[in-house]
Amino acid sequence: MPLYEYECIEDGEVIELLRPMRDADGPVEDPAGKGRTFKRRHSVFGVGGSPVGSTHVHTGGCCPCGKNAGSCGSMN
């Protein structure tokens, strides 16, 4: 089942729900029971990594690839 994000019209709180596609735009019950109205919003997410052609650089204790610095085979 897809994961959808819904934003409260009154206060901006965002919740996530696993729902069948047929119910994606259906009414959402307020999880706090306050009678607030939620509207489905466009989900966005970030993906880590380096742009094509860039140099792989370690910063701090962790590599952007998610492994410990030096353990991914990069020499930078």
pLDDT tens-digit map of 40-56: 998 776 666 555 555 55
Q: What pLDDT is attached to residue 11?
A: 96
| Domain range list for the chain | 3-41
Tens of pLDDT, residues 4-27: 999 999 999 999 999 999 999 999
Is residue 72 pLDDT above 70, yes or no? no
Contacts of 4 by beta carbon, 8 Å cutoff, 6+ apart:
16, 17, 18, 19, 24, 40, 43
Q: Compute the CA torsion angle 20, 26, 27, 31 (nearest 10 deg).
A: 20
Q: What pLDDT is attached to residue 44?
A: 73
Q: What pLDDT is attached to residue 48?
A: 63
